[in-house]
């Protein structure tokens, strides 16, 4: 074609019918841009200008698009027109109409379309490869998958998504396969949908299979979401089902869960016995060492043995595996006894409300030292375990540069370089858990008290109170940590109830770890060395000063285990028995409770050190604790028990 041609020829667009083309422009739809186009340009020319000035549709284009969307349905009901997505799927994917690329996979040939496949980053990269061959357009690609979870069915379901059709029912049947193919082909929606399906159907019956899939496959964010949801379920429901459902779980996951503050287990003694049973089953079943070592490390490094009685520590020292090796390093137990003596001395020698056990500085202790952070500010946070840990780490330190000051002002602009502050102690906090039964049946303004625990010379329990919010016609639960009055008063209170023992007869109390006596006796003789001397939602926080009518005689003192598995430590203390005579003590605490709104996430309430008088309580009234129907009952499907995991420490 010469430059002097008065009538330029136009090339048909790819896929258009052959023959002469006539360009018709409706005057009503003409825009200044179209009206001023030069010869050889326009919608049917071989060159299309996609510069930034064309990126945003004009007002008339937007209006036309809106009009088109409003006229998709026939106003008279006589026209049967497929939706665009159905049309693309049927004509494009199933029939391969106007295909411009062939994909061979699983012994089949799929006639597909570059523009549609371009929605996937995987195919975008595939079509651009190799970079030095841009002028040559490949029309055929062979795909081979090494991952056995990528099947032909999952592949076709994933490609269907690119064509606008989602077969949710079929995808739900093969969620593992959908994660695999979605991850490979970079179809993120397929991955997220399958992950959500797995998470919503995860429970203690299938949790081992699901977590092993996530750990072994390493499918990026999908695997991590599954693992974190699994840890959330294990943290709140794992103890009560016993050790058997944990058999096939990866040791690293078990180790992470059973040592955490938010692992629901009634007492530190129960936590220890549970972990020993986990180890016992694995050792006797000849598990590899890498499926044992992480759990043993948690047993020796993450439990707070200093809050057990000397009799319990002595009992633990007698437990050995089938090879005669102690589950717990004797030095760990000896150190715990010295820590208990040290804490007793601090409590009994203190003349003020605090025992001077904390350090506050701009930097935490060195990583090789064992320390426990103390909340610097009151806060309510929630999330799955990894997210909760990150938020907790932030809330357990504070930057004075960003904290609120008088009149609600912030000093951020005035002193932006102030360092974060950390408050910490070398004394492990005390941990216990309680499950309240029949909370939905609790009368308003009536308290229900949980089991009472002895810690550092004081007696502690948790109680709940149900309140009605008149303006919203709903109910709210208040949870309060209570320093019990141990004055010996025996009068009962008509305003309180005692929570029943929810886990009496639980499978965990039906047996104790085995003892291998001959090996134990020989080893104990070798270990009788001198002990070392190294001592080391809307929420509302409330404090309640109770009357003294409720005493220990009205409440049940902690019985760490059922009679069939009771250890010497559950009898009255014969050593290190003392009472803190101070009327006021300073204590920090953290409450964890499984979320009722976003299972299996966990909600945490953090409290800075507060003064606790005898018979005084601190706690929260919160919408985050519970969800009620209008009549005050739990919604269908919610756990009938309301669980709390408590951490507290004298400072």
DSSP collapsed to 3 states, 140-171: EEECCCCCCCCCHHHHHHHHHHHCCCCCHHHH
Given the structure tokens 């203390």, which residue do they identify? Answer: 573
Q: Tell how strand 140-142 and strand 101-105 pair up.
A: parallel
Q: Tell how strand 496-498 and strand 584-594 pair up.
A: unpaired
- Cα-Cα end-to-end distance for the chain: 92
- The confidence score (pLDDT) of residue 85 equals 78
- The confidence score (pLDDT) of residue 494 equals 60
In this structure, are residues 498 and 554 in contact, taking their beta carbons and an 8 Å threshold?
A: yes
- For residue 428 the two structure tokens come to 């492990």
Residue environment code for 305-336, b if the CB has 16+ CB neighbours within 10 A, otherwise e: bbbbbbbbbbbbbebbbeeeebbbebebbbbb
Chunked mean pLDDT (size 10), the chain, 651 residues: 38 34 34 35 32 35 38 73 80 83 94 93 88 64 96 96 93 98 97 97 95 94 97 96 96 98 98 98 95 98 96 94 95 95 93 81 72 89 93 71 38 46 87 89 84 94 85 80 68 66 90 71 44 43 56 47 41 69 94 86 93 93 72 67 94 88
Nearest-angstrom CA–CA distance, 235 and 263: 4
- The confidence score (pLDDT) of residue 178 equals 98
Half-sphere exposure (Cβ direction) of 388: Cα atoms closer than 13 Å = 29
Nearest-angstrom CA–CA distance, 94 and 484: 72
At 321, which helix (H) or strand (E)? none
- Ramachandran class of 299: left when φ > 0, alpha when ψ lies in -120 to 50, beta otherwise: alpha
Half-sphere exposure (Cβ direction) of 372: Cα atoms closer than 13 Å = 24
Residue 586 neighbours by CB distance under 10 Å: 20
- The confidence score (pLDDT) of residue 407 equals 36
- Dihedral sign of CA atoms 609, 610, 613, 618 in order: negative
Nearest-angstrom CA–CA distance, 404 and 185: 48
DSSP 633: P
Q: Which domains does the chain have, with CATH numbers?
A: 78-201 (3.30.710.10), 237-403+417-651 (no CATH)
- The confidence score (pLDDT) of residue 397 equals 65
In this structure, are residues 230 and 386 in contact, taking their beta carbons and an 8 Å threshold?
A: no
- For residue 89 the two structure tokens come to 């799927």
559 by DSSP, 3-state: which?
coil
Nearest-angstrom CA–CA distance, 166 and 85: 10
- The confidence score (pLDDT) of residue 622 equals 79
Q: Is the peptide bond before 588 cis (omega within 30 degrees of 0)?
A: no
- The confidence score (pLDDT) of residue 559 equals 46
How would you list the strands of the sheet with 602-613, edge to edge? 379-383, 602-613, 584-594, 642-650, 430-436
């Amino acid at each position: 074609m010469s430059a002097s041609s008065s009538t330029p020829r136009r090339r048909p667009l790819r896929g258009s019918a052959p023959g002469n083309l006539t360009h018709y422009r409706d005057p009503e739809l003409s825009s200044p841009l179209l009206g001023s186009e030069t010869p050889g340009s326009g919608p049917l020319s071989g060159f299309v200008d996609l510069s930034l000035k064309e990126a945003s549709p004009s007002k008339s284009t937007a209006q036309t698009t809106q009009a088109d969307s409003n006229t998709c349905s026939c106003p008279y009901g006589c026209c049967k027109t497929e939706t665009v997505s159905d049309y693309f799927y049927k004509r494009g994917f199933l029939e391969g109409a106007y295909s411009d690329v062939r994909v061979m996979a699983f012994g089949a040939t799929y006639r597909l379309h570059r523009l549609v496949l371009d929605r996937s980053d995987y195919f975008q990269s595939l079509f651009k490869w190799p970079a030095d061959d841009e002028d040559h357009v490949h029309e055929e690609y062979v795909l081979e998958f090494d991952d056995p979870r990528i099947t032909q069915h999952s592949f076709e379901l994933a490609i269907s998504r690119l064509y606008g059709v989602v077969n949710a029912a079929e995808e739900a049947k093969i969620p593992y396969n959908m994660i695999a193919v979605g991850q490979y082909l970079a179809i993120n929606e397929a991955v997220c949908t399958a992950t959500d399906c797995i998470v919503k159907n995860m429970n203690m019956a299938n949790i081992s299979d699901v977590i092993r899939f996530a750990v072994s496959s390493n499918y990026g964010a999908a695997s991590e979401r599954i693992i974190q949801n699994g840890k959330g379920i294990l943290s709140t429901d794992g103890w009560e089902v016993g050790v058997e459902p944990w058999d096939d779980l990866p040791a690293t996951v078990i180790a992470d869960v059973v040592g955490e503050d938010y692992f629901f287990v009634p007492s530190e003694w129960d936590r220890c016995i549970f972990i020993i049973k986990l180890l016992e089953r694995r050792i006797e079943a000849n598990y590899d060492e890498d499926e044992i070592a992480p759990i043993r490390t948690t047993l020796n490094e993450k439990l707070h043995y200093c809050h057990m009685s000397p009799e319990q520590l002595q009992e633990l020292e007698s437990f050995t595996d089938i090879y005669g090796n102690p589950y717990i390093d004797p030095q760990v137990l000896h150190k715990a006894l010295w820590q208990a003596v040290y804490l007793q001395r601090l409590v009994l020698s203190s003349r003020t409300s605090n025992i001077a056990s904390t350090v506050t500085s701009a930097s935490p202790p060195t990583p090789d030292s064992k320390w426990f952070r103390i909340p610097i500010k009151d806060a309510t946070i929630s999330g799955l375990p990894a997210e909760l840990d990150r938020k907790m780490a932030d809330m357990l330190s504070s930057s004075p540069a960003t904290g609120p000051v008088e009149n609600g002002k912030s000093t951020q602009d005035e002193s932006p370089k102030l360092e974060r502050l950390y408050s910490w102690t070398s004394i492990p906090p005390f941990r216990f858990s309680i499950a309240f039964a029949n909370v939905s049946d609790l009368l308003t303004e009536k308290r229900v008290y949980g089991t009472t625990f002895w810690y550092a010379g004081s007696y502690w329990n948790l109680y709940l109170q149900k309140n009605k919010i008149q303006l919203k016609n709903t109910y709210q639960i208040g949870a309060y940590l209570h320093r019990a009055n141990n004055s010996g008063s025996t009068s009962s209170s008509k305003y309180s109830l005692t929570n029943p023992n929810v886990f009496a007869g639980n499978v965990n109390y039906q047996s104790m770890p085995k003892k291998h006596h001959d090996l134990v006796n020989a080893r104990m003789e070798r270990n009788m060395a001198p002990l070392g001397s190294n001592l080391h939602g809307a929420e509302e926080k409330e404090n309640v000063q109770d009357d003294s009518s409720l005493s220990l005689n009205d409440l049940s003192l902690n019985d760490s285990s059922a009679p069939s598995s009771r250890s010497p430590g559950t009898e009255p203390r014969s050593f290190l028995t003392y009472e803190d005579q101070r009327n006021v003590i300073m204590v920090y605490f953290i409450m964890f409770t499984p979320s009722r709104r976003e299972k299996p996430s966990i909600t945490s309430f953090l409290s800075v050190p507060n003064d606790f008088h005898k018979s005084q309580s601190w706690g929260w009234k919160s919408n985050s604790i519970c969800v009620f129907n209008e009549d005050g009952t739990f919604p269908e499907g919610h756990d009938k028990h309301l669980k709390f995991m408590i951490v507290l420490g004298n400072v």
